[in-house]
Chain A
Amino acid sequence: QKEVEQDPGPLSVPEGAIVSLNCTYSNSAFQYFMWYRQYSRKGPELLMYTYSSGNKEDGRFTAQVDKSSKYISLFIRDSQPSDSATYLCAPCMVMDSSYKLIFGSGTRLLVRP
């Protein structure tokens, strides 16, 4: 079983739709939860991160973590064609003096104009 599971998609939605992207993880040692966005032919870039269970909002994006069920979500409101990208969840665990990110395989999102 992979440590982090993510539906690969592609997920195709019309412009303006609410998008829900999800991950599950198996290791309860994860403490931080990050979402990276990767455009085609580019490296990933950090979109959001959260530390604890609950919601964190940043503009049209909301990250949600439920540690009890080991479930991570990213919601995008009023989705735009420019949101078309692959979204990678990345739970993080702290180890001694360093940390380790485990990346999901990514969900490809296509927002149609």
Chain B
Amino acid sequence: DVKVTQSSRYLVKRTGEKVFLECVQDMDHENMFWYRQDPGLGLRLIYFSYDVKMKEKGDIPEGYSVSREKKERFSLILESASTNQTSMYLCASSLTGTNSEQFFGPGTRLTVL
């Protein structure tokens, strides 16, 4: 049973803080993704990684960075959190393949005050 876990379900941070969101998958998937989900906008891709130490920008990478030091772990970093980064953050992983299913974690609800 595929499992994608995220470090926190709810997080409250202050403007300007550095924020780390952690994601771990246990199925040896090559690909990992970070999305944010906002009402009316759906899921938008922030960054993805198709291998250890590899990363690619998604559609909205500004204000974010990522780290993938191990295959099972993909971290999203908000260098200096801002109120417009208040959102639901979802991590996903998948095998390599053009129609490969993405498995999602439960999400982290981040509020930046």
Partners in one complex: yes
Which of B43, B50, B102, B105 is within 8 Å of A98, CB to CB?
Answer: B50
Interface pair B43/A46, CB less than 8 Å apart: no
* CB-defined contacts of B4 to chain A, threshold 8 Å: 43
Q: In residues 35-62 of chain B, which contact A (Cβ within 8 Å)?
A: 35, 39-45, 50, 56
Interface pair A43/B98, CB less than 8 Å apart: no
Q: How far is the CA of A56 from the CA of B112 in the complex (A)?
A: 43
For B, the interface residue count at a CB cutoff of 8 angstroms equals 24
Interface pair B101/A43, CB less than 8 Å apart: no
Q: In residues 13-59 of chain A, which contact B (Cβ within 8 Å)?
A: 31-32, 41-46, 49, 51
Q: Given A43-B90, A45-B104: A94 and B98 within 8 A (CB)?
A: yes
Report which A residues bind B (CB closer than 8 A): 4, 6, 8, 31-32, 41-46, 49, 51, 88, 92, 94, 97-101, 103-106
